[in-house]
Copies of this chain bind each other. A is one copy, B any other.
Amino acid sequence: MNDGQRPLGDMPADDFRHYGYQVVDWIADYFEHISELPVLSQIEPNWLKDNIPESAPEKGEDFGDVLKDVDRLILPAVTNWNHPNFHGLFSTSTSSVGVFGEMLAAAFDMKAMLWRTSPASTELEDVVLDWLRQMLGLPDHFEGIIYDTASVSTMHAIAAARERSDLNIREQGMSGRDDLPLLRVYCSEQVHSSIDKACITLGLGTRSLRKIAVNERFEMIPEALAEAIDEDVDAGYLPICVIPTIGTTSSSSVDPVDAIADICEKHSIWLHVDSAYAGSAAILPEKREYFAGWERADSIVTNPHKWMFTPFDLSVLYCRDLGIMKQAFSLVPEYLKTNDESTVKNGMDYGIQLGRRFRALKLWFVMRYFGSEGLIDRIREHCRLAELFASWIEDSPDFEMLAPVPFALVCFRACPDGTADLDALNERIMNEINASGEAYLSHTKLNGKFTLRLSVGSIRVEEQHLKKVWELLNEHLNGVVKASAKGAD
């Protein structure tokens, strides 16, 4: 097959079948044995680069050889997000059917800019987003659109808020104008960095973002928000958007959306709810209380690629009035004009990206294969496991909880008697565990304290995996404390 005489065109169909089965087998083995692999890749920086030729091959290679290099070069350099002991950041994972969705989407390779270039993607997107809306308990005036990431979804939400401000920024922009007050966006101190980045990108600047104080549970204080807005209005600034979070990245805290919605309503400010992580948990009736008031939002972001077993990327933005997004972004050059514009939805009208992947397919597969009950069961189990882990922390004299657990993230630290520098101790324990490849934890700072974060979210996680982390934590704590005691001798 690699004789330099390969005809033009694509790989022959028989070869596609042959190698396609091999790739399927490879993935099946990978999923089956993933818990035997290290969670964090154990390579040193530049190892992969140093082991790959400096230039592309001139002659085509046999795909079998390429696949061997996936084993030899790629796999050791993979951090295994699907490992059941990946508890860092937010633990996300793909399901098998999600992979099938990506296979078919890649084969179709549609660009869903226009309805006519991709009716399947355009219409299935509407269908699955309405299915999801119902599962989340959102009213039917919410219409959704799929973007790649929450960063991009949120950027679009703030752009829509900016558009609604009647300052004609779409056309006139913000530079070279002396008629434009300082525009303000509000969020809590615990907000995700994507919101700072959105403000940078949109030309609002980081100073436009006012971060509101939180209470001892890391929740935005509505009175502080109201005060800040009043102060800004008095100063001649223009509040355009407030972004409460349901499930912050640091601690998964929940801002009081209902109280914040009252303030937004009073001032006619766009209310964007960031539930990129926790949104999926709204499908559990017993978690619905955390979402009180989000039905009053102008826009809501939630990421099925985070906690709904859908491969990255698939972020959903629900809007009360998607027409504002169209007003902000629609722009149809001659070469994209069609004769059906009045009757169909063209995805390109709702954002900066023209081409859009067929992302709805994988979410449709996930929803059908697991059913709403299967998804509820899995997310509920993750919340149970997180609570169980938290109970071990609470029962131990050597550890303490540092934040509530509304969903499936546990924030805690080791605090053995007689250790002066707890920050250094916890950082060392975390680094040792992460370096071992046995599990992956990440950290944050809460009230100035170095805080360990354990996120439960993998479709493959079981109670045994949490037990393993608990053992590792105690082992490493004992090791470090003993070593310190020895050092002190």
Q: Which of A115, A196, A207, A453 has the most CB of B within 10 A?
A: A207
Q: Is the CB of A23 within 8 A of B104?
A: yes
Q: Is the CB of A100 within 8 A of B45?
A: no
Using known A-B contacts A194-B354, A378-B8, determine if residue A173 contacts B199 with beta carbons closer than 8 Å: yes
Q: Is the CB of A203 within 8 A of B61?
A: no
The yes or no answer to A483 lying at the interface (CB within 8 A) is no
The yes or no answer to A394 lying at the interface (CB within 8 A) is no
- Tell me the bound Cα distance from A78 to B43 in angstroms: 42
Of the candidates B29, B173, B201, B203, the one whose C-beta lies within 8 Å of that of A352 is B201
Of the candidates B49, B200, B369, the one whose C-beta lies within 8 Å of that of A60 is B369
The yes or no answer to A79 lying at the interface (CB within 8 A) is yes
- Chain A 97-138 interface mask (CB, 8 Å, partner B; 1/0): 111111111111111000111111001101100111011000
The yes or no answer to A323 lying at the interface (CB within 8 A) is no
The yes or no answer to A267 lying at the interface (CB within 8 A) is no
Q: Is the CB of B170 within 8 A of A173?
A: no
* 8 A Cβ contacts from A35-89 to B: 40-41, 43, 45-49, 52, 54-61, 63, 65-66, 70, 74-75, 77-82, 88-89
Specify the chain B residue showing the minimal Cβ separation from A88. B117
Using known A-B contacts A99-B103, A203-B174, determine if residue A24 contacts B27 with beta carbons closer than 8 Å: no
Q: Is the CB of A335 within 8 A of B49?
A: no
Question: Interface residue tally of chain A, by bracket?
Answer: 35 or more
* 8 A Cβ contacts from A228-268 to B: 237-238, 249-250
Q: Is the CB of B176 within 8 A of A66?
A: no
Q: Is the CB of A172 within 8 A of B207?
A: yes
Report the stretch among A10-18, A294-302, A471-479 that lies at the interface: A10-18
* 8 A Cβ contacts from A159-200 to B: 159, 162, 168-178, 180-183, 192-194, 196-200
Q: Is the CB of B10 within 8 A of A31?
A: yes
CB distance from A6 to the nearest CB of B (A): 7
Specify the chain B residue showing the minimal Cβ separation from A362. B106
The yes or no answer to A456 lying at the interface (CB within 8 A) is no
Using known A-B contacts A25-B17, A201-B159, determine if residue A81 contacts B60 with beta carbons closer than 8 Å: no
Q: Is the CB of B353 within 8 A of A152?
A: yes
The yes or no answer to A373 lying at the interface (CB within 8 A) is yes
Residues of B within 8 A of A123 (CB): 46-49, 77
Q: Is the CB of B173 within 8 A of A173?
A: no
- Tell me the bound Cα distance from A353 to B177 in angstroms: 29
- Chain A 452-485 interface mask (CB, 8 Å, partner B; 1/0): 0100000110100000000000000000000000
Q: Is the CB of B151 within 8 A of A354?
A: yes
Q: Is the CB of A93 within 8 A of B109?
A: yes
Q: Which of A19, A98, A148 has the most CB of B within 10 A?
A: A148
Report the stretch among A284-292, A412-420, A439-447 that lies at the interface: A439-447
3 tightest A-B CB contacts, nearest first: A173-B205, A203-B203, A176-B182
Q: Could you jot down 20 A-B contacts, CB within 8 Å?
A: A16-B24, A16-B27, A16-B28, A20-B99, A48-B124, A49-B123, A56-B371, A57-B367, A60-B371, A78-B110, A78-B119, A81-B117, A82-B107, A89-B111, A149-B353, A152-B352, A170-B200, A174-B174, A174-B203, A175-B203
Q: Kindly list 11 other residue pairs between chains A and B, CB separation below 8 angstroms, not including A23-B24, A99-B106, A102-B106.
A: A13-B31, A56-B372, A66-B365, A77-B124, A89-B336, A98-B106, A174-B204, A193-B332, A202-B202, A249-B335, A313-B357
